[in-house]
Amino acid sequence: DIVMTQTPLSSPVTLGQPASISCRSSQSLVHSDGNTYLSWLQQRPGQPPRLLIYKISNRFSGVPDRFSGSGAGTDFTLKISRVEAEDVGVYYCMQATQFPQTFGQGTKVEIK
Amino acid sequence: EVQLVESGGGLVQPGGSLRLSCAASGFTFSSYEMNWVRQAPGKGLEWVSYISSSGSTIYYADSVKGRFTISRDNAKNSLYLQMNSLRAEDTAVYYCAREGGHIVGACFDYWGQGTLVTVSS
């Protein structure tokens, strides 16, 4: 199985300041079809996960443009340009390039 | 609006069985692959099982293989997870999640609210 490793596991952030989460995979996530199936999910407290970003850098419907994704191969980053109170929660990266789909451990974003 | 609503969770003794259901609406259910994903209390996400749009292709995580059975009824817009020989380590919130379609690709684009399964004596 592909192992997804996120850093940091906790990220205290000041409101209005940026936040960045890294995700590294144990092997390349480039699929044979040329796509890289790396996505980011947000889980607010007491809520189910919600898709934010798919295929590295594409924002899902309704996701604010302060969220952005980047990366390639085995190294990926989720950035929040200016953290708002509603961004508090746990963020997961997930790969679906190779079966079985696997998730990172999660990064908790909280307000300082 | 896409909606996924799970039901069927509850308290069960070790060795017991439960059947989870996921009612889908707001999209053409028969066109989408579906998954079950679980989350133990205070822990991260774990993929459990996958079923293709027609039901002809099915996969399981090693941790549940031989004990859980995924199925679907496209006429009823419903997804199911039959869980047998339950263990304490199966205690989790179980989510049904839709596989992304043609544009979004391989990811889980919509999730239900989840149903809690507690395995305890």
Q: CA of A95: which chain B residue's CA is closest? A: B107
Residue to substitute from A101, A103, A107, interface B, most B β-carbons within 10 A = A101
Q: By the 8 A CB rule, do B9 and B95 touch? A: no
Q: Give the side-chain half-sphere CA count within 13 A for B111.
A: 23
Please give the torsion angle defined by the CA atoms of residues A94, B98, A64 and A43, in that order, rounded to the nearest 10 degrees.
-60
B29-64 confidence digits (pLDDT tens):
999 999 999 999 999 999 999 999 999 999 999 999
For chain B (length 121 residues), average pLDDT per consecutive 10? 98 98 98 98 97 97 98 98 98 97 90 98 95
Closest by Cα among A106, A26, A58 to B103: A58
Contact B114 A106 (CB under 8 A): no
Query: What are the tens digits of pLDDT across the range A42-72?
Result: 999 999 999 999 999 999 999 999 999 999 9
Q: How far apart are CA A64 and CA B70, in angstroms?
A: 35
Structure tokens at A110: 């909280």
Determine the pLDDT at residue B32. Answer: 97
* Contact map slice: B 5-34 vs A, CB within 8 A: none
Nearest C-alpha neighbor of B10 from the set B83, B92, B116, B99:
B116
Chain-chain contact of A92 with B44 (C-beta, under 8 angstroms): yes
Does the beta carbon of B41 lie under 8 angstroms from any beta carbon of chain A?
Answer: no
Q: Are strands B115-119 and B10-12 parallel, antiparallel or unpaired?
A: parallel
